[in-house]
Amino acid sequence: MKILVTGGAGYIGSHMCAELLRLGHEIVVADNFSNGTQAALDGVKKISGSDFPFYETDIRDENALEKIFYEHKIDCVTHFAGLKAVGKSVSEPLEYYENNLNSTLTLCRTMRKHGVFRMIFSSSAATYSPENSVPLTEDSVLGATNPYGRTKIMCEEILRDLCIAEPRFSVVLLRYFNAVGAHESGLIGDCPRGIPNNLMPFISQTAAGLHSELKIFGNDYNTPDGTCIRDYIHITDLIDGHVCAIEFSAENAGCEVFNLGTGRGISVLEMVDAFDKTNGLKLPRSIAPRRPGDFPEAYASPEKAEKMLKFRAKKSLEDMCRDTWKFQRNVPSEMR
Ligand code: NAD
Ligand code: UDP
């Protein structure tokens, strides 16, 4: 199959590229490098030992997308391109709505024009209302608390409406929980620009001496150890979920939504302790005030994905900690 990977120079997209090549698929990659890097693409080439067509382009640019679909007979699109920083989406909402909605609209229009009807869309657990009880099922109430999450809800609705209007479309919406870890080679991984907002990159950068200590945002939540609970899923598992979704989309028209998580809640303290233990480290840490907007507990019900996609996460917490640290020690200077 020939698969277009939008956002393929980013964290998740680059792992998708490596896996698709390993499975013998052809890929075409489009990324505007707003957050992705050439180093991630080079990592994919090293891992796979093969080259692939890459278009440095903004996928809101209809002419540029047109060229890609004209030059390649695409069978399926995995659509990762998007802006994802929750905090920035609050301070720059227009940029977020503009990018995440228009990229999806332009992509859908161009797909339809070229008779390409299969898409796997990167949605997020950030679409769920914090009022839900856990575990979160695909039927839990939606209600994002920030513009980023709202762009994902809106994209989901656009894609659902498209599938109703055009029954040839087959779209799989994947609501990711917290993606962590890195490729086992240590050649690609999560390498945020500037100071990371997310826990795992902050932990690994602190271990590498880039920050003086990890601040744990709140230890007075109503959870067993007082720190927030999330569902961390290893990037390799997350990518396996996409491979299952691609297969599912071949057999099922319409629009279907799935959580991609482990179903297991891990607290901030558990994660830091596991990182220390796995890697023989002792991270400097302190307790800081709660981070505004955080909610105590979120983890997935993985049942629907298990039943319908035949997907189940396999990697352990130790795998997540080991692979994150392996990549951090390997980060090429161009990716810092
Ligand atoms: P990332 O920032 O590493 O990758 C996104 C890529 O898209 C980047 O390389 C960026 O340069 C590119 N991009 C953005 N806008 C573009 C545009 N208009 N045209 C072309 N390229 C564009 O992020 P990621 O962690 O790999 O996330 C991938 C997708 O998954 C995003 O849509 C994100 O919202 C979603 N997601 C991620 C997580 C997570 O834990 N990382 C969780 C839930 C959802
Ligand atoms: N967190 C923390 N210190 C950090 C970064 C994050 O204590 O430097 C906590 C954060 O408050 C949350 C959890 O780690 O409870 C996961 O945060 P992240 O931003 O990675 O994911 P999200 O909250 O968006 O699910």
Whether residue 8 has its Cβ less than 6 Å from ligand 1: no
Question: Phi, psi (5° rounding) for residue 216?
Answer: -90, 115
> Would you call the peptide bond into 296 cis, given omega within 30 degrees of 0 as the criterion?
no
Ligand 1 neighbour 99 (Cβ under 6 A) = yes
Q: What is the pLDDT of residue 334?
A: 53
Task: Specify the pLDDT at position 293.
Answer: 86
Measure 31 CA to ligand 2 centroid, in angstroms: 27
Residues with a known catalytic role: 148
Q: pTM score > 0.85 for this model?
A: yes
| Ligand 1 pocket check for 58: Cβ under 6 Å | yes
Residue 234 backbone zone (phi > 0: left; psi -120 to 50: alpha; other: beta): beta
Regions in the chain scoring below 50 on pLDDT? none
User: Which of 127, 190, 210, 228 for a ligand 2 pocket mutation test, highest count of atoms within 8 Å of Cβ?
Assistant: 228
Ligand 2 geometric centre to CA of 208 (Å): 19
| Residue 333, pLDDT score | 62
Q: Is 197 in the pocket of ligand 2 (CB under 6 A)?
A: yes
Ligand 2 centroid to residue 28 C-alpha, Å: 33
Q: For the segment 288-328, what is each residue's pLDDT rounded down to a tens digit?
A: 999 988 999 999 999 999 999 999 999 999 999 999 999 99
Q: Tell me, what's the pLDDT at 175?
A: 99
Per-residue pLDDT of 93-112, as tens digits, reads 999 999 999 999 999 999 99
Can you give the pLDDT at residue 336?
A: 57
